[in-house]
Amino acid sequence: MKEKIEQGRRKFLRNVFTATVLTASCPHAVLGQIRPEVSGGGDDEILGNYRVSLNEFPVLKDEWGSIRMEVRGIPPEWMYPNIIITKLPFEQYKKHYSCVEDRCPHEGYNVYDLDNYREFECSGHGTIFTCEGTYLEGPAAQDLTIREVFYDGGDQLTVGIPSYIATSIDNNEEITYLGQNMPNPCVDKTTIEYSLETGMYVAIDLIGHNGVSFMTIISENQSAGIHRTTFDVSGLPVGTYFYRMKAGNHSPITRKLLKIN
């Protein structure tokens, strides 16, 4: 009972302070863009190296300073939310920075900036998360997507954001790749983006750990370019799955899919 009263008090105070917080520190705009560093390798090499300059964004040098940034790369940005990077007090959190995606995992709404409690709130249904992205209360019942931040005390951060392809990002050549499904984890429907460098036969299957196919997502000849497909996973048991794309003479490409309630 005491816990419920405390939660109610926190929600009341949060609503009272919202206007003050937004007036004092304005909602974050997308202040910048970060692009991956191409490290070479095959068409399906996964990137994770995004550099953020502290000199370019001095607010990140201040305790509790944070910025919302747009991520640039391949696949196109429509599949990926912005990220929020926050400077933390090291003595309390034993790390200098946190980085979360700003999309709530429940229904995809963006989260507001940190409030007076140093918490994120979903703009759609009010789910509350800690400054590190950990779920606290509300219908989401799972954490924000957390991205690793590497900091060695210098003037740059390195943010790890997987699922971008390391081939020819700067000159934007057409390549064959398979993107990460969004949202992931997923509850009912999820979307996969993939690209074909030329017209070819493509098959995408959803499989389990034992290699057994649960469904065929795509099986047909398709034209060159970027394709997107949305499919229903509501009937699948909760668990971890993989989806595999076979396209022309390319080696199969596999990604992990998480099904939740």
Question: Is residue 9 exposed (0-12), middle (13-18) or buried (19+ Cβ within 10 Å)?
Answer: exposed
Q: What is the pLDDT of residue 163?
A: 52
Homologous superfamily of 2-160 in CATH?
Rieske [2Fe-2S] iron-sulphur domain (2.102.10.10)
Residue 145: the pLDDT is 87
Residue ranges per structural domain of the chain? 2-160, 177-259
CATH fold of 177-259, please? Immunoglobulin-like (2.60.40)
Q: pTM value?
A: 0.52
pLDDT in tens, the chain (261 residues): 545 444 544 444 444 333 222 222 333 344 444 554 433 333 333 445 677 889 888 999 999 999 998 776 544 445 567 899 999 999 999 899 999 989 888 888 889 999 989 999 999 999 999 999 999 999 988 899 888 787 878 888 878 776 544 443 333 346 787 877 888 788 888 988 888 888 999 999 998 876 778 899 999 999 998 888 999 999 998 888 888 899 998 877 778 888 888
